[in-house]
Amino acid sequence: ADVAGEATLLAVRSMAALLKTSSFSVHPSMLECWLSLRLDASAAAAAASAEKERFGARKGKKRRRGIDPVARELAAASGDRGDVGLKSAAVLEQLFVSYARVVKARPGGPLMPLVLRGIAKFAHCVNVELLLDLVSNLRTILRDPAALSTPAALHCVHALLRLLSGHGAALAVDMRDVQQRLYSLLAEQALLADTRLLATALDCLDHLCRQRSALLAPRIASFFCRLVDAAATLPHAHAVALLAAASRLLVACPRVTALLDGTDRAGPPLAPARADEREDVDSPRAINSTAWQLALLHRHYHPVVAQLAKRLAAAEPLPPALGRSTPLRLMATYSDSSGAFNPPPQPPSKRRRAADAAKRAASSSGGGELHESIEAAVARAGGGEASSALDFAVLLR
């Protein structure tokens, strides 16, 4: 492992230079390896601030002279960690400068999905100056429906929400267009069927839940209805993750519990919505409707889905085991791709087995009487005893 960070910095600088000189005509695997970097964001930030303070004003120098001698010795002893932090800060600078160049020059190229994933992963490390530039460029790209594919558009939404949940949380930015695009993407079957893409979409909703001061009840109600609607049609592993995300929306915006009134009715209470109403995340129709899909999920074949639907309809919190799990872990836990069913089906009770045995005995005895009556009817029609091999041609004469 590169503990000092020198080899990592040299490699990233060389790759960034190659990316620039080749006009971004490189294999995507070159940027994919950047996603495996383990950078200490706290050390990088501390080293960057220390570097600024070193060349700061006279006031900073006076403040450093007034530091306790023991604290000064401890700071000197941690010089190696400071060097590693400076190298991490330099690596982050190279990464985000390269990402910004790709976003501006090749927004629809094959490198864009990896760039967006990298921005989302290291969003908590970006400085404010570069953050504003990235947010502006990404929102411009996202406004064009044909600029990005479905996976790339989802990663763009994820990157924007991650950028504005770290240092960008203090910025007063209206993210209505980003949330509208996320709402539209949640109706894409290609996204819902892919486990990793669906987990990324639900992580986007989790970032929305953390910004409670900016939540609008009609918007959250639209997301809630879209989640439970998808849960009624997808496999049980995906349904568990969707219902868990819907429960978090209820906790983040308690006004959405108005959707749970009358969930015992197995049918939509309103007339079918127009296409523009269905695709508008701010439409008031959602919060004035009823989450009737939960009535269907009460009778789901999977016990965990049925339990979650009942708890959701009663506005009860998630079980602790499900509340602490990520969407990707939930889908992996309840997936049947290995052939196993989680939880395993319970064997029938002794009383149920006895009742089934009695039914089988009654049906077998009834079948014997029916066979005897058929043989007697055939014998009468043929004028003799019924043979072991029935001759139906006699009945046609």
% the chain with pLDDT above 70? 75
Query: What long-range pairs does 28-35 form, CB within 8 A, spacing at least 24?
Result: 28/110, 28/111, 28/113, 28/114, 31/111, 31/114, 31/115, 31/118, 32/114, 34/95, 34/114, 34/118, 35/114, 35/117, 35/118, 35/121
Q: Which range, 75-84, 242-251, 313-322, 336-345, is most confident?
A: 242-251
pLDDT of residue 263: 47
With 70 as the cut, is the pLDDT of residue 170 above it? no
Band the pLDDT of 264: cuts 50, 70, 90. very low
- 264 or 120: whose pLDDT is higher? 120
Query: Residue 175 above 70 pLDDT?
Result: yes
272-331 pLDDT, tens digit each: 555 566 788 988 888 888 899 999 999 999 999 999 999 999 999 988 888 889 999 999
Q: Is the pLDDT of residue 76 over 60?
A: no
Check whether 131 has a pLDDT greater than 60. Answer: yes
Banded model confidence at residue 174, pLDDT cuts 50, 70, 90: confident
Q: Span 100-107, mean pLDDT?
A: 91
Residue 340: pLDDT over 80: yes
Long-range pairs, 57-66, Cβ under 8 A, ≥24: none
189 burial level (CB within 10 Å; 0-12, 13-18, 19+): exposed
Q: What average pLDDT does the structure give for the chain?
A: 81
Q: What is the pLDDT of residue 287?
A: 87
